[in-house]
Structure 1
Amino acid sequence: MTTSPDLTTQPRYRHAAYGGESRVLRNDALRVDVHRRTTGWGWAELTAPDGTLLAVLDHLGEVCLRDSPVPMRLEAAGIAAATTHELAFDVRATVVAEALRGTSFDTWIGSPFTGPALTGRVTLTLDPADARLRLHYVLESQQDLYVRYLRGPWLRVGEGSFGADRDDAILPGVEWAVGREWTSGTDWFRDPWAMRVTPHRTTVAVPVMAVSRAGTAVALSWEPDQDCTGWFSMRREHPQPVFAAPNLVERRDGSLLGLMLPEARDGAGDGWHADPPMELHRGQRIELTAHVSVVTGRSLDAVTDWVVRNGLPEPPAPRWPIEETLHRIAEAVTTRLWHEGRGYGTAQSETDTFRREPRFARAYLDRFPDSPHARTMAEQVASLAPEPEPGTDALLAEGRELLAHQRPDGSFGFDPEGRHWRKDDFLVARDLVAPMGQPGDTALDLSMTPAIRLFELAALTGEQEFSAAARRALDACLDLHRPEGGDFWETPLHAPNLLAAGHAAIAYELGFGLFGDPRYRERTAHWLRTLLAFTHLWEPRGMPMTYNTKPCLCSSDWYFANWVRDHVQWEVLTTFALAAEHGLDLAAADPLVDWRRYQEGVTWAAVRWLLDHRDDTWRPHNLPASLDLYREGRFDMCLPDTHNATTGLYGGMAIMPDIVAVNLLDLLGDAG
């Protein structure tokens, strides 16, 4: 790696006035050209080994004040320190009065500031062997200021080269756009929820954002809970991500990855201009650290790279020991959730359905035959007429019905008023706003769920035609990258979706086990990794949410639920429950990520959710009359449907906790 004067380097970025001087940081993976403007250092261009201009770091910082006519860049008169891998710049904000002195503007524009608003040091450090650039800002306010924004890293990806052309773009928990889709577009949302350029920071699941093109992803990561600044007892400020692909913030041909202050308070609207502005006081310190990474692959590979570098977080501390948790769930199921003659259920409304037995009952009774609740559970299950097992003829008929719906290419189409009818949400959305999916469309989950069932039917009947049909469904989806199609009964069909990811991982692993095709094992790993884009892998201080998951990155019925704001846990638990029920070892499918630890994390997160009416943290949504039942303790130990990432409160329906127990029993098997 070298850093050296390079007076012959001609910048490719056409929106900066080149001052004729550059420095280069380079290794075998990345070249960073840092340039001086006519007014001072600097901006930087990031170039791949093949010469592709990947991104432009537009400045070393920029501040927009309420009382200044123009934003002011942070620039340096010279290089304060240089080594073989690092450049440091002592920066000061442009003084507008100085810049205008002696010009035609001098007589009619009067800036109130006679000195720099901010000073400090910005350090750029390139990893000796990796395509990874560290950006570190230490600044100090020199005045009492009202700040509309203070920008740190401001990365214009594709600027001056491939522009807005990209394969995909991901901000985990918030956005996953592919092809020509816009982030903050209205494909999956309607306004005001559609504008997600500056999302509330607690809705961001993993602190990395990425844009990919032609096998290369450019990513910006940060420390989401870093205290960037604060004054006396005033509110602390944390890094605010700014994400736009294409760059609708500046209406430029490229994509934007940025960090700024202050943080958005509500996650809506023009969050990149604070109103009211942020106060800075004389002598107030501002610190910010971020990394730019260039990763081979797509945006998901950049997210996975972050996970590999940082490791999965520790699973949440158990609320109770694992066996005690199982017995508490069993106690709730056999008392509050048992209804004589009807079965098990939450009984929140007259239309509630009841189960013949809890999903975990047989495994629980085998594991704990002498528990205080085993005898009661066994007697309750025995008192109900068992559901008749379908005979071979019925199973064959079910399989042939699925084959009748399979298309020549192996996929399955959307039939919203036929076999995909669940409830009338998508019909109301179609008539009130716009269709959430067109009849005949296909999506990943629409093919993966029948593939799983066809594999099951093949095993039950010995009918090889069913497994061959399942294989055709897998082959039809080999080239897909984003999980879509789960939750189709209330969300846009092609929206990014966690349930589809889980079903795809199960389907491809079943296919790998049966056929040994290495492409299927690779797809298992891919679809498992897509879960990361929906999973909270950090939490703000005072708001436990590590390993909470988003069901999808869209809204229900266009208006009625915002799944960027809300977590749902039962869907991710279903993935690992299905794996356990089919005897699959998902951890073996992708050794790059510790999926057993991940399962432990999402399971203990679900235990953290389990209701206790004395906490008073839950409110119903579409069943308001159930609040009284909650206050009576009838839903204690149930799993709430949603968790709000901005308030920390729970809502929705009360869900049977047996899916939590299935995962706990699976984890208990590891513990012996």
Structure 2
Amino acid sequence: MRARSCYLQTRKLVFIGRPLSLNCKLCLTFLVSALLTVTAAAADISGIILPVFDFTQPAGTNGWTPAHDISQIARVEEGLLIRISGSDPYIIGPPRNYPSGIPLWLNIRLRSDKGGMCQVFYSNAGFSEPQSVRFSVPQDQWHEARVRLPSLGASYRIRIDPPGDSGTCTIAWLKFEPRVVIAPPTWPVPALPQVGPADPRIKSGDLEILHGRDVPGQFQIRVAGNLMAVGNTNAMLGYMVGSTPKWMPLAPVTNGAFRIATSKSANSQTDVDSIKIECSIPDPDGATWRIEQSFSIHAPGIVRIVSTATVDQARDVFYLPMLTLLPGLGSFGTNKTQALFAGVEYLENEPSSSTADLNPPASNRQVPDTAKITFPLMAMAVQGRFLGLSWSPDRDGTFCAVFDSPDRIFKSTGHLMGLLFPGSDGNNREENSVVPYDPARLNPNQPLTIQAFVIGGAGDSVVPAIQQYVQLSGLPPTPPMGMTTNQFLALAANGWLHSTIRDGNRYRHATPGFNSAPAADAALYMDYIAACVTDHELVNELGDAARSALAEVAAADYNSAQIGHVRFPAPALIYGAVPQNIIKSTTHAQNLLSQFVADGTIFYKPPASGPDYSSTHWSKEANGFAATYINALLEEASFAGNPGLIDAALRHLRALDKFRNTVPRGAQTWEIPLHTPDILASAYLVRAYVRGFELTGDQSLLDQARYWAWTGVPFVYLTPPTDKPVGLYATIPVLGATAWIAPVWIGLPVQWCGLAYAHALHQLSAYDKQGPWEQIADGIAISAIQQTYPTNDTAYRGLLPDSFNLRQQSRNLPAINPATTLAPAIRALHLPTFYQFKPFRSFGLYVHAPGQLTDIEERPNSLRFTVTPWSQRPFYLLINGFGHTPTLQINGTATGLGPPHMFQASEGRLILRLEKRAVVELGYPALASLNIEWLRSTSLAKLSWPAKAADFALESTQTLESESWTRLTNPVIANMDRLVTTDAIVGPMRFYRLAR
């Protein structure tokens, strides 16, 4: 209902000549000396009146109007009831005057039956995205949010966009208050700590720490003998007495107040394996602080540091550095090769907290909300070495991390990594401030302790630091799914059948906001679920819906008419029309090729209208942008089986060598800057390099797949961000924001991006079984299942939210179709194989199967395998790469290559139509059959293979249990049509293979 006037409550802030209370602090200015007490100095804001909109009062809704996608607003006893009727709902309030020059807090109490993201706009003109804030709201419970607003001014209106696209949201009130901060001091500039040859030192692998004998922080950290970082001997402590903030140096003031000791275990291989320092420091208000720090060898290349602070009187502390590292001070300065703050920053030699990926204030992330940190690791690589800092995260938010590269906080002429008390929760401080809004109480004689680990070693990137972190901390177990496998399949089935993703016999990629289209993968996944469940009613319903969905799709479009983010060329292998879909793949591959320049480069082209997402990047190209096209090109060329297309795709893949040891970025330029670090870039790079390895056997391509797989790990939550059930293995998409502004994706998981990465890791795990890929991928899939809309959400049941709010455990629209979750979940839940691409490089053959290949036998003149489909209907097997006509046996019976099969000799292609499980045997000579002869008298093995396989390399291993094969460089001679070499037999067994 429209109201004639607004009932406005006001609060008057009055100061009556006494010290400022902690409930309303003002910005304070400090001067620092050796020991200094500071008093408040602030502008006079007495008499300021701030608006309060109390919708529980009879006239509280006056002036508020339903502006868009709102069917009704009405005042009820609990507040303003908003009935939502569309995907972009908002209400607008009356103009009000706010004090200029004073940042504000907005406090809002609301309840949403959907939950999700709420957005508040503020403007005295037109509303725009930059003049707005977002916060998450839990589902169906009262929630009080406290969000930062800048200073406003006269005649500002507030617009509220409640969560959801239907249902109701009730707002009780909006209140405003000044947002005031404790200003930091003029920090003393850190100096290079002096250590001498007689000072204690510990060494672990390439990592060495030396500590001086005078003050805390007087240490140097070296890697392979090179200075990498130092401590801060000029650290400060800040605490509050009443309303008065005080600062003091964290340094002894009398002789004997600092002590250092060393110890050595009985079986130690070094002179010293631990160092401990203790320091007693009096404060000017009568308390004594005790600072302790111990350094001990934990494992090769890892030193454990335990920092403890204790005070004998209660203190309200707003700044206490528990550990400070200053990489580069006294050595490489402000330069670096790479730097990482897991979940927050992933940098080349560029500044952190930059505006290349998002605008202020969100770009300021030196002291971020701890829930944004995916796992506790800060790292830096420079000059072929890396240094990292990890720590044991606390569940109650006691501590926080600070990261600044270069160090603009202390101006140390290096970089900054550190651990602070109090913590950072997204609301208790500006995220670029080491000082929070309010202090935290330290009770007397209760130690405050944090454990950290310094890691270091050789490395040209931060990837070795990520690897060492995983080795140090291990991977968490996959979280509980919250349902059985059958319940998940039923939930996914209901997503296809009964959610708003379905529009008759067509399906939307996501809802709301997306049009429906023919979708062959919708039909395929419904048929797959029907093959896995036993509920006859559900099986029949899925079968009917799948047939109707497939009828909407032209046969030649079976593989291209897909709406999932993870796609396979599987529909044609189940439903037929394989030749027509091969033609479509060929055409698509040719179109993709046309977008590259001759050297394999593909450039981002800004749209004619809209943002130029390359404007903050140093180039028009990026690894993730290129990999998006190259991965698609490789997959289409592989299905088409066209040697020319495959060769061109591989050339373009090798052109990605220019991006070796760089940061993954630029895969989502429809809304994200080209510069922005991106898990989807990692995913496409892994997929492209794995497919390149499958096609060639080139180990260097597999090495690159491993590298890019590690670059995606920092986007995955490997420690719980909150104490809520959903969080582990959730994945943030990018380290930036849409159009530099909002939504800000740091700390906001977008699981579909992680699922694309999980799919890539599953592919890699087939060839790198020693890596952590299977567990990470499975964890991501299980997290997606946790995030899926439940059965009782009638509109979105079985769908994946676009993003997930970790603290509120609520979901954000649009909701995405089940295909993206199903693809990795099938593997994680050990369900029947959905699709397999299997290379047989020694024959030059490549198989596409809608199922699993097992019982593989490769002989010099034949290839045999068993194919087990998931479907009970007839299916198709596509085999590419034939140089001449093979013979064929199916289930032991010689079979011709005519109908129902098809052999296309000129294309080197065989399409088999099979039913149920089948044993396939091809009479076809191997390109690279290896002959081994043991020369007993010399303990040598004589090895020979066809000269036509000259592009294969000879590899050996001592056990087939190992994935480690060594490429032999023994001299090879040509003998007629054979290549011959010898190798010394070492150990009881030796295995050989030809690989490429």
Q: CA deviation at 1:569?
A: 0.4
Q: CA deviation at 1:192?
A: 0.4
Map residues 414-425 of structure 1 onto 2, 5 A cutoff.
414-417=604-607
Q: Tell me which residue corresponds to 1:456.
A: 635
Q: Tell me which residue corresponds to 1:507.
A: 688
Q: CA deviation at 1:642?
A: 0.7
> Is the alpha carbon distance of 1:251 and 1:355 closer, same or farther for their aligned partners in structure 2, counting shifts above 3 Å?
farther
Q: CA deviation at 1:652?
A: 2.8
Aligned 8 A contact 2:191 2:233 in 1: no
Q: Tell me which residue corresponds to 1:232.
A: none
Map residues 318-333 of structure 1 onto 2, 5 A cutoff.
318-333=481-496
* Counterpart among 285, 301, 316 of residue 113 in structure 1: 285
Aligned 8 A contact 1:90 1:119 in 2: yes
Deviations 1:615-654 (CA, angstroms, capped at 9, x unpaired): xxxxxxxxxxxxxxx6xx2112221111124443321311
Q: CA deviation at 1:59?
A: 4.5
Q: CA deviation at 1:197?
A: 0.3
Q: Which whole-Å CA distance do the structure 2 matches of 1:497 and 1:122 have between them?
A: 37
Indicate the RMSD between aligned Cα atoms, in angstroms. 2.8
Map residues 6-21 of structure 1 onto 2, 5 A cutoff.
14-16=191-193
Q: Which whole-Å CA distance do the structure 2 matches of 1:354 and 1:537 have between them?
A: 37
* Counterpart among 126, 139, 164 of residue 334 in structure 2: 164
Q: Tell me which residue corresponds to 2:625.
A: 446
Larger helix proportion of the pair: 1
Q: Tell me which residue corresponds to 1:104.
A: none
Q: Tell me which residue corresponds to 2:497.
A: 334
- SS, match of residue 602 in structure 2: coil
> Is the alpha carbon distance of 1:186 and 1:592 closer, same or farther for their aligned partners in structure 2, counting shifts above 3 Å?
farther
Report the residue type matching 1:644 in the other structure: N
* Counterpart among 575, 591, 597 of residue 407 in structure 1: 597
Deviations 1:122-148 (CA, angstroms, capped at 9, x unpaired): 211134x62222111233212232322
Say yes or no: does 1:92 pair with 2:264. no
Q: CA deviation at 1:20?
A: 10
Report the residue type matching 1:509 in the other structure: V
> Is the alpha carbon distance of 1:668 and 1:28 closer, same or farther for their aligned partners in structure 2, counting shifts above 3 Å?
closer
Q: Tell me which residue corresponds to 1:565.
A: 747
Q: CA deviation at 1:566?
A: 0.8
> Is the alpha carbon distance of 1:17 and 1:158 closer, same or farther for their aligned partners in structure 2, counting shifts above 3 Å?
closer
> Is the alpha carbon distance of 1:514 and 1:177 closer, same or farther for their aligned partners in structure 2, counting shifts above 3 Å?
same
- SS, match of residue 468 in structure 1: helix
Q: Tell me which residue corresponds to 1:288.
A: 450
> Is the alpha carbon distance of 1:534 and 1:147 closer, same or farther for their aligned partners in structure 2, counting shifts above 3 Å?
same
Q: Which whole-Å CA distance do the structure 1 matches of 2:611 and 2:407 have between them?
A: 30
Which region of structure 1 is more displaced relative to structure 2, 320-329 or 201-210? 320-329
- SS, match of residue 414 in structure 1: coil
Aligned 8 A contact 1:87 1:123 in 2: yes
> Is the alpha carbon distance of 1:449 and 1:371 closer, same or farther for their aligned partners in structure 2, counting shifts above 3 Å?
farther
Map residues 329-408 of structure 1 onto 2, 5 A cutoff.
329-337=492-500, 339=502, 341-345=504-508, 348-349=511-512, 351-357=514-520, 358=522, 360-368=525-533, 371-383=536-548, 384-389=551-556, 391=580, 394-408=584-598
Q: Tell me which residue corresponds to 1:56.
A: 230
Alignment TM-score, normalising by the size of structure 2: 0.57
Report the residue type matching 2:373 in the other structure: V
- SS, match of residue 405 in structure 1: coil
Aligned residues: 597
- SS, match of residue 666 in structure 1: helix
Aligned 8 A contact 2:193 2:231 in 1: no
* Counterpart among 175, 185, 206 of residue 29 in structure 1: 206
Aligned 8 A contact 2:201 2:275 in 1: no
Q: CA deviation at 1:305?
A: 1.2
Q: Which whole-Å CA distance do the structure 2 matches of 1:205 and 1:550 have between them?
A: 9
Could you tell me which runs of 5 or more consecutive residues in structure 1 were left unpaired when the two chains were aligned. 1-12, 97-111, 227-235, 419-426, 615-629
- SS, match of residue 375 in structure 1: helix
Q: CA deviation at 1:362?
A: 4.0
Q: CA deviation at 1:120?
A: 4.4
* Counterpart among 722, 732, 737 of residue 555 in structure 1: 737
Q: Which whole-Å CA distance do the structure 1 matches of 2:505 and 2:637 have between them?
A: 33
> Is the alpha carbon distance of 1:351 and 1:289 closer, same or farther for their aligned partners in structure 2, counting shifts above 3 Å?
closer
Alignment TM-score, normalising by the size of structure 1: 0.82
Q: CA deviation at 1:316?
A: 0.8
Report the residue type matching 2:555 in the other structure: P
> Is the alpha carbon distance of 1:366 and 1:592 closer, same or farther for their aligned partners in structure 2, counting shifts above 3 Å?
same
Aligned 8 A contact 1:504 1:527 in 2: yes
> Is the alpha carbon distance of 1:479 and 1:310 closer, same or farther for their aligned partners in structure 2, counting shifts above 3 Å?
farther
Q: Which whole-Å CA distance do the structure 1 matches of 2:399 and 2:714 have between them?
A: 20
- SS, match of residue 596 in structure 1: helix
Say yes or no: does 1:610 pair with 2:788. yes
* Counterpart among 254, 258, 264 of residue 418 in structure 2: 258
Q: CA deviation at 1:187?
A: 0.9
Q: Tell me which residue corresponds to 2:728.
A: 546
> Is the alpha carbon distance of 1:252 and 1:648 closer, same or farther for their aligned partners in structure 2, counting shifts above 3 Å?
farther
Q: CA deviation at 1:68?
A: 6.6
Deviations 1:565-595 (CA, angstroms, capped at 9, x unpaired): 311101221244467xxxx742133344321
* Counterpart among 782, 796, 811 of residue 650 in structure 1: 811
Q: Which has the larger radius of gyration?
A: 2
Deviations 1:319-356 (CA, angstroms, capped at 9, x unpaired): 11112211221133222347464423387446522442
Map residues 462-473 of structure 1 onto 2, 5 A cutoff.
462-473=641-652
Q: Tell me which residue corresponds to 1:125.
A: 296
> Is the alpha carbon distance of 1:198 and 1:361 closer, same or farther for their aligned partners in structure 2, counting shifts above 3 Å?
same
Q: Tell me which residue corresponds to 1:242.
A: 402
| Identity between Structure 1 and Structure 2 (%) | 22
Report the residue type matching 1:113 in the other structure: D
Report the residue type matching 1:447 in the other structure: A
Q: Which whole-Å CA distance do the structure 1 matches of 2:263 and 2:628 have between them?
A: 57
* Counterpart among 35, 38, 43 of residue 218 in structure 2: 43
Aligned 8 A contact 1:140 1:285 in 2: yes
Q: Which whole-Å CA distance do the structure 2 matches of 1:380 and 1:31 have between them?
A: 65
* Counterpart among 186, 189, 208 of residue 358 in structure 2: 189
Aligned 8 A contact 1:346 1:635 in 2: no
Q: CA deviation at 1:474?
A: 1.4
Deviations 1:299-330 (CA, angstroms, capped at 9, x unpaired): 12211211122221110112111122112211
- SS, match of residue 241 in structure 1: strand
Q: Tell me which residue corresponds to 2:310.
A: 140
Deviations 1:395-430 (CA, angstroms, capped at 9, x unpaired): 443332222211122121113438xxxxxxxx4444
Aligned 8 A contact 2:501 2:511 in 1: no
- SS, match of residue 246 in structure 1: coil
Deviations 1:22-79 (CA, angstroms, capped at 9, x unpaired): 2222355232211023xx4551111223x31111022497522345764321555222
Structure ranking higher on relative contact order (CA contacts 8 Å, 6+ apart) = 1
Report the residue type matching 2:366 in the other structure: V
- SS, match of residue 202 in structure 2: strand
Q: Tell me which residue corresponds to 2:116.
A: none
Q: Which whole-Å CA distance do the structure 1 matches of 2:513 and 2:389 have between them?
A: 50
Q: CA deviation at 1:205?
A: 0.2
Aligned 8 A contact 1:264 1:271 in 2: no
Q: Which whole-Å CA distance do the structure 2 matches of 1:458 and 1:240 have between them?
A: 49
Report the residue type matching 1:278 in the other structure: A
- SS, match of residue 645 in structure 2: helix
> Is the alpha carbon distance of 1:170 and 1:408 closer, same or farther for their aligned partners in structure 2, counting shifts above 3 Å?
same
Q: Which whole-Å CA distance do the structure 2 matches of 1:328 and 1:606 have between them?
A: 13
- SS, match of residue 372 in structure 1: helix
Q: CA deviation at 1:526?
A: 1.1
Q: Tell me which residue corresponds to 2:562.
A: none
> Is the alpha carbon distance of 1:59 and 1:373 closer, same or farther for their aligned partners in structure 2, counting shifts above 3 Å?
farther
Q: Which whole-Å CA distance do the structure 2 matches of 1:281 and 1:214 have between them?
A: 45
Q: Which whole-Å CA distance do the structure 1 matches of 2:441 and 2:405 have between them?
A: 30
> Is the alpha carbon distance of 1:258 and 1:371 closer, same or farther for their aligned partners in structure 2, counting shifts above 3 Å?
farther
